[in-house]
A and B are shown apart, each in its own frame.
Chain A
Amino acid sequence: MVIPNFSIGPLHLLDVLPYVAIVTILGVILLLTPFLVWYERVALALIQDRLGPNRVGPRGLLQAFADGIKLFLKEDIRPSAIDATIYYAAPVLMMIPALAACAVLPVADLRIDMGGGRIEAIPFVVGNVNIGILYLLGLTSLQVYGIVLAGWASNNKYSLMGGLRSSAQTISYELSMTMAVLTGVLISGSTNMVEIVRSQAGTVADWNIAKFLPLGFIATVVYLIAMVAETNRAPFDLPEAESELVAGFHTEYSSMKFAMFFMCEYASMLVISGVATALWFGGWNSPHPALNFVPGFVWFILKVVAFVMVYVWVRATLPRLRYDALMALGWKRLLPIALAALVLTATWDAVRTPADKKSGWPVIEAPHDADKPVARASNAR
């Protein structure tokens, strides 16, 4: 599917593309959340052999909207003796990284006719930055603040416990996740999300999960486990563990603030699934060239939805981990495995690369020329 490069007045397609991407991606994620809730509840009901939502709207499809309206109209309770600023800021602090992370998600490669029969592949992404994957890691690591601060500011011991658990859990699993991501970066040879996806074009065998067998697969599994832990979803939902901590970090939150936490959970689920798709499962690439007629974004969405299904499936199947088991899994199992996978991948890559392809040390300008006084940067401007 080739799109002509057109302009409306002073606006050229290539210039407005990032803005279109912002609006589309954010819109889709925010609008999808209610349906995601419905999707989860229906899937859970299926697995647990019960009916699930079926009253509001056709097949209960509007249930989530009804819940949303209910939350919106509820009283906004302000607990006593809270740290008000932080209490109100916490849901926002959680929402910002979740949404900002969408900026580097590569949704599709648009083939645009640049005129004269020249067709270029332009990625449909908000920011095609070189360190996309590092940006994502940074934002994921910031997301924990929302939970920790919500727990602390609520002046509630259960909330505090939830926040504490969350900070320990996130730090522990972030390590494994980073190691797994770095393995993926090594396999693809780039930190740019778009390049990572492009490097996986072809068949299923070209996806990162299938490369460097079994190392790519191992790293994928580590990533998938760590990603569930990072999003605080069952079986890693210790921060909210309703049977122990009432509702954990958001016990004291009501009304729209609670809804924001709720939305965050789903938004970050979508984003993290998108990252997993791009990093390990070929992103917008089709599983086989014969299926290339289906547009890239369809593949992307299909894969993301499949991941959400995995999330739900895991939630319905596995019981919540005990705290010490959670720590043991993170530090004693996942981290060594992820480290080993990273080191082995690097070794394999170094051995496999033919000698003439190995890059020598490029000449970079001399580091120390303290002898020559250089004009001050501000003056030079």
Chain B
Amino acid sequence: MLHRESGVFKTSYAADMALYPLPIARWTVAAVLLIFVVVLPLSLQEYYLSVINLVLIAIVGALGLNILVGYTGQISVGHAAFMSVGAYTAANLAVHLHLPFWVTLPAGGLMAALIGAIVGIPSLRIKGLYLAIATLASQLIIEWVINHTPAISGGAQASIEVPRPTVFGVELKTQGELYFFLLAFAVAAVVATLNIVRSRIGRAFVAIRDQDIAAEIIGINIFRYKLLSFAISSFYAGVCGVLYTYYFGIANYEAFQIVVSIDYLAMIIIGGLGSVLGSILGAIFVTMLPIAIRIVVEAFGGYFWDTAALSAVAASMRLIIFGLLIIIFLVVEPEGLNRLWRNIRNYFRVWPFSY
């Protein structure tokens, strides 16, 4: 975070293990929260909130994938399928049993965790590219099952409309209301991840990532922790899928196809594998950059093209610039935006006396 850290002495283990070891870090977190809870919703137009809402949902999904890929080192290209598992579980519960979101949301997450743990079983025998193909298979199998099981998908259209979530009798439907709904879960996901990765479980994950045989020798139960990693990651994915479902008002598996899995992989690779801040930055980057590029092209493209031609140009330019920027960022810093941020921070940490 943004602070200097000289003159801080830790005198107990509890202080050493604190989530925010420095007092100023707590203040920074409080200030950031204040911005997100008060300043942004009051000052931004609904459109910008809708963009932030999409980012918030993506953050939850990216965090989950980062636990699996970044922290445990198990590659997965089936993340979107677990989202659809969560989405359909929640939608069926909400429509057929009329359950509120605070029941359907954890239920969707748990169901995704269960399926995720089953899908994770091959990871006990295979890794790397082989595991990628195994998870790719699970993505396709889950898609197929949803598409062909009316009991899950709710009919030929494979989409189930869900009612808007209600909190204390208030129906959340505007972008501003949904913003707080999504923000709460995004913050919860961030805090939970921060705590998971610095706990015994998180350290076991990192040990498995760095060298799984060594991890087994020092007594980490590989079977348990690999499956646990898949389950936790899928839980996040399931919750992310439920959030999508409530945000759009519909569960539709066509919104969770293989390209979405790839998008999430891109998020964590651009953001930085094995870091919480990296997941957040990656989600912001992948969701907002295309929009920002489009706005810039729209603002300045008028000098070069007429309106009708500009539409075609803007669409293509966006893809080209987006691809270029990803390459540039990864060439500048292969470990992602998180590392880039840390480099900048380390530079200013001792600035202007950098010697």
A pairs with B: no
Binding site for A on B (CB under 8 A): none
Binding site for B on A (CB under 8 A): none
